[in-house]
Chains A and B, each alone.
Chain A
Amino acid sequence: MSHDSYPMRVMDAAEHGLTLPAAPLRYGSGGKVPARRDGLAKVTGAALYAADRQAEALLHAAFATAPVARGRVVALDTQAALAHPGVVQVYTPANRPPLAQHPDEKRHPFNFRHEALQDDTIRYAGQPIAMVLAETPEAAAEGARLLAPEIAAEPPRVDHDAGTPWQPEMVGFFAPAQAEVGDVARGLAEAEQVVEVEIETPDQFHNAMEPHAILARWEGPEKLLLDTPNQGPVMIAGLVAGYLGLPEGAVEIRTPFIGGGFGSKLMIYGAMILTALAARDLGRPVKTVLSRAQMYGPVGHRAGTRQRLRLGIGSGGRLTALDHEVTALASSFEDFVEPSGHASQHLYAVPNLAMRHSARRVDRGTPVAMRAPGEASGSAALEVAMDVAAEAAGLDPLAFRLSNYAETDPATGRPFSSKALRECYAAGAEAFGWAGRPAARMGRDAEGRLIGWGMGTSQYMCTMYRGEARVKVHADGTASAAIAGVDMGQGAWTILAQCAAEGLSMDPERLRLTSGSSVLPDGAVAGGSGHTATAGMAASEAGRNAVEQLISLATADPASPLFGAGNSGVVARDGRLSRADDPSRGESYSEVLARAGLAEVEGQGVGERVQAHREGYAMFSHGAVFAEVAIDPELAQMRVTRMVGAFACGRILNPRMVQSQLEGGLIWGLSFALHEEAQYDPATGRILNADLAGYHVPAHADIPQLTTLTVAEEDPYVNALGVKGVGEVGITGSAGAIANAIRHATGFTPTRFPIRIEDVLAHL
């Protein structure tokens, strides 16, 4: 395959946004599915991530971090650090240049409180306590080591039992901490049986493969260029300006390639502000690259929870009540609370339904959103409880879920905008062979391993923000689109171009996309699985707007074959306009532009949800996940041997990339079930496994054969494109499916995640 036409360009400092053409490769029969636009740059090493960039006269930063979770920094040997060859400056709270906004001041929900050397307080282990600037990374690291902090340590409060109880009003992002429909106490009292499940989930860390990195350069007193991976470049650029006392628009964030985000690159953190501050103070560009260990604390994590679910079961295996109680760990200084209880509020038909959250403040870094925040941990606990309830009701897990199928949203009573979950259950069960499920604790494979089959239901809300895009049609018959899109691997480079081209009624091959800079139209944040819906709809609408302008030009031009056809009588297809009543009469976009003497037309578009639809419908992606585990009967080693996930996510724009996203979700679910956990030392509050050897994320050998399916689902209400999110739904349902498979094989009901060998061993 030839890639001659593909520009292997490296961005330079003067460029605001990267422009990529279509990839030459397409997938599927008939070649209708575009491959990733950024694929070639990534397989050749040409894609420049923030830490890959260099600058003239660059200084390198390194941080000294707190060795304990609570206390004060009493002394730092700044003289020793400054004396080290190559060290240029050391910042501590004593000499850090002033900020226009205190790091703990909350003007905006995404002003996450952070540590920018404001004082000597230590609020978690790993917190940055001093910053060293040097001519080389080696000198900066050595300088940071020489600071040898003297600490007045206090006993850390690091776990649930030591935490300070706190009752939040809101959890997650603006979600209520508690809610009740009907009367749960009565529903439980009237139940034939009540099952109760208690489950603990650990702190988990995003661990994007790319460590956070910032290259800050000042191009003028009010012009700051930040090369940094970021999931919300326009919003975060505005917030950074606030800390630095800069006017709106003074900060540009460039983020064309993001080496994974999962929520960790949607927050303000100290290094980001301090790197910009140091560059201004020293008059030189500064680069900071966090070490892997420094990603455990200052840049967020998924908070640990303790959850208690009570399910009342009535006649016919129908739920009479569901009560979901969550205690989440919060930091001592910020108010983000893992909203796990919401995961159980929209899924199963139950007349008496409640959830409530409380929190314990501990001396850990602040938690934030991590892939399916709340839904992942809440779903894991809920789906285990559903299997316990199914067994109590004497029903197959799938039959039990079907007997409690929600035709309307149980929390609000609203109809679903669309819900093809039945089809997911059917397609997934068929592909997995669920009908042949062995009896509980009876499954064996040829090697004598215990075999268990489990399932779980997936559900994730359809988030949408407000986004904007700009699309042009050029006289040569090509098109271009501009949007501050965010591609952290989910495929925005490709999908947003597809959406713009769809709005234009053109082949995406003829469209160039410029993205990756905050100076472009705001595509909103990539989070909550809402980026394609928001930015994609904006791009599509902008394309449609450009076509409307072409139609106006043509129908008003007596020389056009479309003259007098009126806007409603013209059809746009494949870069051409033709009369609706006579498709043979028409002309190309470039002919319209040429006769009008125009080089281009520019369309503007907005992506946002229709308010009446938002208020009238419950909107969710759904799915059904089936998992098989094999367990060594003596060692209790657990292996997931296959997984099937069937999902209903509205319209599927790019099946190949959706498959990759859904597979990623299943893998995160597997990891949640069996692998991930940060372990804290109770004595110091330090994380004991703050690296990729001790904190296990799945390796290839952990990942079995995966099958993902999508079922057809049309949704006229969710947005103009009819798309729902696919990035997070796959992790819901899947952790529970694996836990239930282990339960099916052994009879052991998990009480904590990840499920450990020693837990299962005691039940073999």
Chain B
Amino acid sequence: MTLRLIINGQAQEIALPDSRLTLLDLLRDHLQLTGAKKGCDRGQCGACTVLVNGRRVTGCLTLAATLEGAEVLTIEGLSSGADLHPMQQAFLDHDALQCGFCTPGQIMSAVALMAEGETGADPDRVREALSGNLCRCGAHPGIVAAVCSVLGEQG
């Protein structure tokens, strides 16, 4: 089957090689977009978080074949060249990462928070809203500080 998607702003027609393909495997194995990570492959860790039509989803639990016409935004499409998205910059400013493996998912989840408008810059609400994105290194304080700084700017 052929799937039409808009990935990081670019319309693509993709001949799906296997109907079992998840969005995550499609991105990683067939489109060379490896920023989204596979940490568990069952929606428990959030490392594969990407935005579909502006909503954060776990790429590993999303069947690619169900996404006809959808807009997909991955970490690679968040910024171009030298100009970082404010959330990416905030992660650098607050040393909000260590090993970096969960980082693309944390950032995409945090970018979605900006649009969801549920938390404001309240650290406790941000912690709750980001709890689907696990981090094992213990970068949580930096991540929450980074996200709150951007949400605070947003007002």
Q: A: which residues have CB within 8 A of B?
A: 1-4, 23, 25, 27, 35-36, 38-49, 51-52, 54, 136-138, 207-211, 257-262, 289, 291-292, 488-491, 656-657, 659-661, 663-668, 691-693, 697-701, 703, 705-706
Residue of A nearest to B137 (CB): A489
CA of A665 to CA of B138, assembled, Å: 7
By Cβ-Cβ distance, the 8 closest A-B pairs, closest first, are: A45-B35, A664-B138, A259-B101, A489-B98, A489-B99, A42-B100, A667-B138, A52-B34
Q: Which residues of B contact A697 (CB under 8 A)?
A: 134, 136
Q: A43-B104, A138-B18, A210-B101 are in contact. List 6 more A-B contacts (CB 8 A).
A: A4-B81, A40-B92, A43-B103, A52-B28, A211-B38, A663-B139
Say yes or no for B72: interface residue by CB 8 A criterion.
Answer: no
B101 with A44: CB separation less than 8 A: no
Say yes or no for B41: interface residue by CB 8 A criterion.
Answer: yes
A700 with B133: CB separation less than 8 A: yes
B38 with A289: CB separation less than 8 A: yes
Given A27-B95, A49-B101, A697-B134, check contact A43 B88 (CB 8 Å): yes
A732 → chain B closest CB, angstroms: 14
Q: Which residues of B contact A207 (CB under 8 A)?
A: 136
B134 → chain A closest CB, angstroms: 6
Residue of B nearest to A49 (CB): B101
A292 with B98: CB separation less than 8 A: no
Partner of B128, one of A491, A664, A691, A700: A700
Q: Which residues of A contact B40 (CB under 8 A)?
A: 292, 691-692
CA of A489 to CA of B140, assembled, Å: 13
Q: Give per-residue flags for B97-140: 1 if the beta carbon is below 8 A from chain A beta carbons, else 0.
A: 11111111001000000000000000100111011111111111
CA of A262 to CA of B99, assembled, Å: 11
CA of A730 to CA of B109, assembled, Å: 28
Q: Which residues of A contact B127 (CB under 8 A)?
A: 700-701, 703
CA of A757 to CA of B23, assembled, Å: 39
Say yes or no for B143: interface residue by CB 8 A criterion.
Answer: yes
A43 with B38: CB separation less than 8 A: no
A210 with B140: CB separation less than 8 A: no
Say yes or no for B13: interface residue by CB 8 A criterion.
Answer: no
Say yes or no for B36: interface residue by CB 8 A criterion.
Answer: yes
B34 with A259: CB separation less than 8 A: no
A39 with B34: CB separation less than 8 A: no
Residue of A nearest to B133 (CB): A700
B136 with A209: CB separation less than 8 A: yes
Residue of A nearest to B29 (CB): A137
B140 → chain A closest CB, angstroms: 4
CA of A700 to CA of B147, assembled, Å: 12
A292 with B138: CB separation less than 8 A: no
Say yes or no for B11: interface residue by CB 8 A criterion.
Answer: no
Pick from B32, B101, B104 the residue with the most CB of A within 10 Å. B101
CA of A667 to CA of B143, assembled, Å: 14
Q: Which residues of B contact A657 (CB under 8 A)?
A: 95
B104 with A45: CB separation less than 8 A: yes
CA of A574 to CA of B28, assembled, Å: 44
Q: Which residues of A contact B68 (CB under 8 A)?
A: none
Can you name 20 A-B pairs with beta carbons within 8 Å?
A35-B92, A36-B92, A36-B95, A38-B100, A43-B84, A44-B79, A49-B101, A54-B29, A259-B100, A261-B99, A292-B45, A490-B98, A660-B138, A661-B98, A663-B138, A693-B42, A699-B131, A701-B127, A703-B127, A703-B141
Pick from A36, A47, A699 the residue with the most CB of B within 10 Å. A699
Residue of A nearest to B20 (CB): A138
CA of A706 to CA of B138, assembled, Å: 11
Q: B: which residues have CB within 8 A of A?
A: 17-18, 20-21, 25, 28-29, 32-42, 44-45, 47, 74-76, 78-79, 81-82, 84, 88-89, 91-93, 95, 97-104, 107, 123, 126-128, 130-144
A639 → chain B closest CB, angstroms: 11
Q: Which residues of A contact B97 (CB under 8 A)?
A: 36, 39, 42-43, 489
CA of A137 to CA of B17, assembled, Å: 12
Secondary structure of the A side of the interface? loop
A683 → chain B closest CB, angstroms: 24
Pick from A51, A700, A701 the residue with the most CB of B within 10 Å. A700
Number of CB contacts from chain A to chain B under 8 A = 186
Partner of B103, one of A2, A42, A211, A706: A42
B132 → chain A closest CB, angstroms: 8
B76 with A699: CB separation less than 8 A: no
Q: Which residues of A contact B95 (CB under 8 A)?
A: 27, 35-36, 39, 656-657, 659-660
Given A292-B39, A667-B140, check contact A44 B84 (CB 8 Å): yes
B100 with A257: CB separation less than 8 A: yes
Partner of B99, one of A54, A259, A663: A259
CA of A291 to CA of B60, assembled, Å: 13
A1 with B37: CB separation less than 8 A: no
Q: Which residues of B contact A705 (CB under 8 A)?
A: 123, 141
Residue of A nearest to B89 (CB): A1
CA of A27 to CA of B142, assembled, Å: 14
B78 → chain A closest CB, angstroms: 8
A691 with B92: CB separation less than 8 A: no
A260 with B101: CB separation less than 8 A: yes
A656 → chain B closest CB, angstroms: 5
Q: Which residues of A contact B88 (CB under 8 A)?
A: 43-44
Q: Which residues of A contact B76 (CB under 8 A)?
A: 44-45
A528 → chain B closest CB, angstroms: 17
A692 with B134: CB separation less than 8 A: yes
B1 → chain A closest CB, angstroms: 15
B84 with A3: CB separation less than 8 A: yes
CA of A764 to CA of B57, assembled, Å: 41
Given A210-B39, A489-B99, A664-B98, check contact A3 B82 (CB 8 Å): yes
Q: Which residues of B contact A38 (CB under 8 A)?
A: 100
CA of A207 to CA of B40, assembled, Å: 10
CA of A377 to CA of B128, assembled, Å: 29
CA of A489 to CA of B93, assembled, Å: 16
Given A210-B99, A292-B42, check contact A700 B140 (CB 8 Å): yes
CA of A221 to CA of B34, assembled, Å: 31
Q: Which residues of B contact A43 (CB under 8 A)?
A: 75, 84, 88, 91-92, 97, 103-104, 107
B99 with A51: CB separation less than 8 A: no
B153 → chain A closest CB, angstroms: 15
B37 with A49: CB separation less than 8 A: yes
B91 with A259: CB separation less than 8 A: no
A638 → chain B closest CB, angstroms: 17
A657 → chain B closest CB, angstroms: 7
CA of A666 to CA of B141, assembled, Å: 11
A700 with B32: CB separation less than 8 A: no
CA of A490 to CA of B97, assembled, Å: 10
A210 with B37: CB separation less than 8 A: yes
Pick from B17, B33, B82, B138 the residue with the most CB of A within 10 Å. B138
Partner of B98, one of A660, A691, A701: A660
